[in-house]
């Protein structure tokens, strides 16, 4: 079985202390993400980025729920500086059109094409945020026939409503994803 690691949106704007839409404790997963990315069982290792135009419809000014974040070519849109870029095989941008949320890394065909070309049958999805982009990326991976693992030691939730992260994991579990803390080697 060929397995890929998908690091979702570990970007400056999603991490404390200064991120425009900082996920609580989001910066704390950097070391774990790097550890996973160096693990030889994962090939390829793919990082995703929100890469929004300045007038993206998810921004409050344009009717969306979020403050401006991850505007293309800004410092906030860059991958977090603690992420070891040398471990990455690809960076895939999403949410590039004004009217697409960009919640799933499978928004465009680029990710699926890369995975299929490399013979990948399973993915481990980590990053930010459990209840939005991790959820939607994992959901779409399952729908495309990939076996999916969520490593909870390397994810964090926004929890806009308390419990959103836990509900996202419950949903993914019900869809067939394996929810685990791989740092402790315990699985549900």
Over the stretch 142-177, which tens digit does the pLDDT of each residue have?
Answer: 999 999 999 999 999 999 999 999 999 999 999 999
Neighbour count for residue 80 (Cβ, 10 Å): 22
Strand ranges for 36-87 from DSSP E = 42-50
Smallest CA-to-CA distance from 151 within 176, 186, 122, 118 is with 186
Query: What pLDDT score was predicted for residue 187?
Result: 46
151 is catalytic: no
Question: Would you say 123 and 4 are in contact if contact means Cβ atoms under 8 Å apart?
Answer: yes
Given pLDDT bands bounded at 50, 70 and 90, which one contains residue 182? confident
The token duo for 28 is 């704390």
Across the range 3-25, mean pLDDT stands at: 97
- Structural class in CATH, domain 2-187: alpha beta
Query: What pLDDT score was predicted for residue 33?
Result: 98
**Own/partner pairs, 141-145, CB within 8 angstroms, 24+ separation:** 141/6, 141/106, 142/172, 142/175, 142/176, 142/177, 144/106, 144/112
Rounded to whole angstroms, the Cα distance separating 132 from 46 reads 18
> Which residue is catalytic, options 13, 27, 94, 101?
94
Residue range 19-44, pLDDT digits in tens: 999 999 999 999 999 999 999 999 99
The token duo for 156 is 């964090």
Where in the chain are the domains?
2-187
Query: What pLDDT score was predicted for residue 184?
Result: 80
Question: Would you say 26 and 15 are in contact if contact means Cβ atoms under 8 Å apart?
Answer: yes
73 is catalytic: no
pLDDT > 70: percent of the chain: 98
Rounded to whole angstroms, the Cα distance separating 10 from 47 reads 8
186 has pLDDT over 80:
no
> Which residue is catalytic, options 50, 93, 101, 133?
133
> Which residue is catalytic, options 9, 13, 131, 140?
9
Smallest CA-to-CA distance from 45 within 131, 105, 102, 98 is with 105
């Amino acid at each position: 079985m060929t397995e890929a690691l998908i690091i979702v949106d570990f970007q400056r704007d999603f991490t404390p202390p200064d991120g425009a839409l900082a996920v609580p404790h989001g910066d704390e997963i950097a070391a774990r993400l790097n550890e996973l990315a160096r693990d030889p069982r994962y090939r390829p290792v793919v990082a995703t980025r929100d890469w929004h135009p300045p007038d993206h419809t998810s921004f409050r000014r344009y009717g969306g729920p979020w403050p401006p974040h991850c505007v293309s070519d800004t410092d906030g849109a860059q991958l977090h500086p603690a992420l070891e870029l040398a471990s990455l095989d690809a960076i895939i941008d999403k949410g590039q059109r004004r009217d697409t949320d960009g919640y799933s890394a499978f928004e465009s065909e680029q990710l699926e094409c890369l995975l299929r070309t490399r013979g990948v049958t399973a993915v481990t999805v980590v990053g930010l945020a459990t209840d939005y982009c991790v959820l939607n990326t994992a959901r779409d991976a399952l729908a495309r026939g990939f076996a999916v693992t969520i490593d909870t030691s390397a994810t964090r939730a926004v929890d806009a409503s308390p419990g959103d992260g836990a509900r996202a994991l419950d949903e993914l579990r019900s869809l067939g994803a394996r929810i685990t803390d791989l740092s402790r080697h315990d699985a549900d």
